[in-house]
């Protein structure tokens, strides 16, 4: 009868409302400043243990380490380009970076490991037209480059070279390929009509997120299936459990950024959670802490690194 239908509808509404409420993540307290005013830093990346962040200087020159939560800062390197898409080793003892130098007006770049103890290891020769950004294998056995012209694992030791196994999605010439590490065979995983600029495998290694030149964000299973468009967003960062993706939605006038905010997407449902809505603050390059409790970001307006505490929902 009608009363039962109304009662059922109310129950369903309450359940749906509870689900949406559980899915909402919010900022707890005020943002915490991690760098001083008057200095410009970019694109924070958390260390695996969450004890510090690595950031690039202005124009990605240099890599600086910020202790968390004390905000004490030290310099790892001041080399050109080092701060662009730097990559922490899984055990946190080193950072892989592509550094550049100029000789007779000729730019040369190379892939290096910068150890936190101050030592350094070159993984490639300095060369022209050296393209790609460093990514570590989950085991830490090798580093490879996304967006390069071909796949090349830079092994950390010869003894480990025989242990390549499994399937790895990666970027080659701005397209997504799935490579069998044992055999070296590969196939195009996803057909896209535009360049793919960024790809990050989830912490659970079951799916990956990627963004395109038009700043659309997609999620796909590891083999390229179940590909879905989450909407306009870029610079994605996974939550530690792989359930959420933090990213930035920017607006510009063709020359400079006029607005940027952090959005959160629930990877399985596509539920959008607008974390910041601050016209006078341009939050860029969000990075989720390893414990899931903080998101660090760069404020393009003041050049400082900030972090906000996250509460609510499952992550």
pLDDT attached to residue 4: 53
pLDDT band at 131 (very low <50, low <70, confident <90, very high): confident
pTM, 2 dp = 0.89
pLDDT attached to residue 170: 95
Concatenate the DSSP letters of all residues of the chain into one string. -HHHHHHHHHHHHHHHHHHHHHH--EEEEEEEE-S-TT--EEEEEE-TTSSEEEEEEGGG-SEEEEETTT--EEEEE--BTTTTT-EE-TTSSEEEEEEEEEETTEEEEEEEEEETTS-EEESS--BTT---EEEE-TTSSEEEEETBSS---EES-GGGGGG--SEEEEEETTEEEEEETTT--EEE----SS-EEEEEE-TTSSEEEEEETT-EEEEEETTS-S-EEEEE-EEEEE-TTSSEEEEEEEEESSSSEEEEEEEEEETTT--EEE----TT-BEEEEEE-TTSSEEEEEETTT--EEEEEEESS--
pLDDT attached to residue 12: 40
Q: pLDDT at residue 41 above 70?
A: yes
Instruction: End-to-end CA distance of the chain: give it in Å, rounded.
Output: 41
pLDDT band at 73 (very low <50, low <70, confident <90, very high): very high
What are φ and ψ of residue 9, in 5° steps?
-60, -40
110, with CB counted inside 10 A (0-12, 13-18, 19+), is: middle
Cis peptide before 69 (omega within 30 of 0): yes
Place of tokens 């959005």: 263
What are φ and ψ of residue 158, in 5° steps?
-65, -35
pLDDT tens for 6-28 read 444 443 443 333 344 446 899 99
pLDDT tens for 53-71 read 999 999 999 999 999 999 9
pLDDT attached to residue 314: 56
pLDDT attached to residue 129: 83
pLDDT attached to residue 22: 47
CA distances from 296 to 91, 271, 287 (A): 20, 21, 5
Residue 242: HSE in the Cβ half-sphere, 13 Å Cα cutoff: 14
Residue 32: HSE in the Cβ half-sphere, 13 Å Cα cutoff: 17
Percent of the chain surpassing pLDDT 90: 74
**Section 101-117 average pLDDT:** 93
17, with CB counted inside 10 A (0-12, 13-18, 19+), is: exposed
pLDDT attached to residue 159: 53
The rounded distance, in Å, linking the Cα atoms of 212 and 120 is 33
Mean per-residue pLDDT of the chain: 89
Instruction: Please say whether the beta carbons of 296 and 287 come within 8 A.
Output: yes
The pair of structure tokens assigned to 143 is 């580093």
pLDDT tens for 219-270 read 999 999 999 999 999 999 999 999 999 999 989 888 889 899 999 999 988 8
Place of tokens 């400043």: 33
pLDDT tens for 270-299 read 889 999 999 889 999 999 999 999 999 999
């Amino acid at each position: 009868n009608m009363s039962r239908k109304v009662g059922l509808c109310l129950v369903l509404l309450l359940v749906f409302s509870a689900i949406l409420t559980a899915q909402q993540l919010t900022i707890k307290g005020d943002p915490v400043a991690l760098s001083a005013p008057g200095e410009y830093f970019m694109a924070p990346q958390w260390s695996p243990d969450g004890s510090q962040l690595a950031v690039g200087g202005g124009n990605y020159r240099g890599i600086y380490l910020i202790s968390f939560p004390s905000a004490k800062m030290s310099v790892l390197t001041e080399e050109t380009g080092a701060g662009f898409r730097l990559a922490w080793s899984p055990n946190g003892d080193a950072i892989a970076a592509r550094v550049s130098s100029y000789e007779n007006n000729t730019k040369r770049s190379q892939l290096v490991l910068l150890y936190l103890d101050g030592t350094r290891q070159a993984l490639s020769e300095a060369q022209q037209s050296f393209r790609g950004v460093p990514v570590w294998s989950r085991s830490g056995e090798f580093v490879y480059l996304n967006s390069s012209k071909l796949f090349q694992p830079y092994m950390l030791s010869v003894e480990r070279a025989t242990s390549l196994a499994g399937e790895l999605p990666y970027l080659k010439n701005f397209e997504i390929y799935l490579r069998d590490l044992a055999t070296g065979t590969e196939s195009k995983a996803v057909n896209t009509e535009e360049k793919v600029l960024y790809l990050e495998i989830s912490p659970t290694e079951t799916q990956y997120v990627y963004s395109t030149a038009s700043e659309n964000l997609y999620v796909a299973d590891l083999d390229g299936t179940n590909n879905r468009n989450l909407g306009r967003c870029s610079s994605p960062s996974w939550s530690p459990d792989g359930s959420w993706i933090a990213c930035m939605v920017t607006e510009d006038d063709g020359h400079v950024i006029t607005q940027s905010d952090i959005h959160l997407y629930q990877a399985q449902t596509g539920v959008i959670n607008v974390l910041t809505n601050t016209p006078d603050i341009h939050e860029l390059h969000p990075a989720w802490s390893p414990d899931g409790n903080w998101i660090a970001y760069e404020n393009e307006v003041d050049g400082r690194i900030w972090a906000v505490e996250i509460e609510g929902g499952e992550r």
